[in-house]
Amino acid sequence: MRLKFTKMHGLGNDFVMLDGISQRIKLSPEKIRALADRHLGVGCDQVLLVESPRTPEADFRYRIFNADGGEVENCGNGARCFARFVRERRLTAKPQLLVETSGGLLQLNLLENDEVGVDMGAPILEPERIPFTADRHAETYPLDVDGEVFTIGAVSMGNPHAVLLVEDVDSAPVATLGPRIEQHERFPQRVNVGFLQVQSRSEARLRVFERGVGETRACGTGACAAMVAARLRDLLDEEVQLHLPGGTLTIHWSGPGQPVTMTGPATIVYQGQIVL
């Protein structure tokens, strides 16, 4: 199978973009792992597949596959890259798009300077919908990890996130604690893990250990989840500059029941073909 692809990134969170409308594509976990392999394939954190929508109100459908071959529900940085990709491929000329994902519908707005705004929808806080095992909803939860108890926020942005506050994100144990929380039994579908350092009411720093990927240079849904978890504890204002290793996202959230919006860049690296 010969595939045309575009390599893109959002703040260093990188993707192989596949147009499943103009070419026939049949992916398997093995093919996804081959594409994502940084030594033997193209190399990426996720593979994104563009398809025709299943619901009449949507403009497109896109599917998200982690580097390990597993399909996931949502990806904020991928959504921004998706919006620019379909415009560059001349699949649409619309400045606003409604896109179908496994996590629900997303509204995307193409802005100037290759930036894209994403309406990520209202965060999900009920434990059973995240999913997360807890007796009731709370702003924070104690989480026992091999006998050590951590305080976390639990949020879904269409995919599950655990958020920990840290004093210094540079020295946070992302590589060691991240995978232990990712696989924690209280998260039955595993979880993305964010390590958040609040610098002021309008600025914060974040590192994310992504489910099925490992630490990435940026995570859009992780940034939104971190904003929600910190706002619920009254640590941040409605709009925040959130600094990740790959760059900065602008996140806005006015409170429970309201959508989270995210604005940031989407960058094309190169186009190519690969035989799988």
Among 45, 82, 99, residue whose Cα is nearest residue 210: 45
Mean pLDDT of the region 26-49: 96
Mean pLDDT of the region 121-144: 97
Q: How many CA atoms lie within 13 A of 97 on its CB side?
A: 28
Q: Give the C-alpha separation, 234 to 185, whole Å.
A: 29
Q: Kind of pairing, strands 203-210 and 239-244? A: parallel
What confidence tens digit (pLDDT) does each residue in 4-15 have?
999 999 999 999
Same fold, 2-121+265-275 and 127-258: yes
What pLDDT does residue 104 have?
85
What confidence tens digit (pLDDT) does each residue in 240-271 have?
999 999 999 999 999 999 999 999 999 999 99
Annotated active-site residue in 44, 75, 81, 224: 75
Annotated active-site residue in 44, 81, 219, 224: 219
Indicate the burial class of 88 (C-beta count within 10 angstroms; 0-12, 13-18, 19 or more).
middle
Domain boundaries along the sequence of the chain: 2-121+265-275, 127-258
User: Which residues are CB-neighbours of 7 under 8 A, at least 6 positions away?
Assistant: 14, 15, 16, 17, 42, 44, 268, 269, 270, 271, 272
**Given a cut of 90, is residue 276 above it in pLDDT?**
no
Q: What is the torsional sign of CA 28, 30, 32, 35?
A: negative
Mean pLDDT of the chain: 96
Mean pLDDT of the region 63-74: 93
| Portion of the chain with pLDDT greater than 70, in percent | 100
Q: Is 224 a catalytic residue?
A: no
CATH annotation of 2-121+265-275: 3.10.310.10
CATH architecture of 127-258: Roll (3.10)
What pLDDT does residue 190 have?
97
pLDDT band at 114 (very low <50, low <70, confident <90, very high): confident
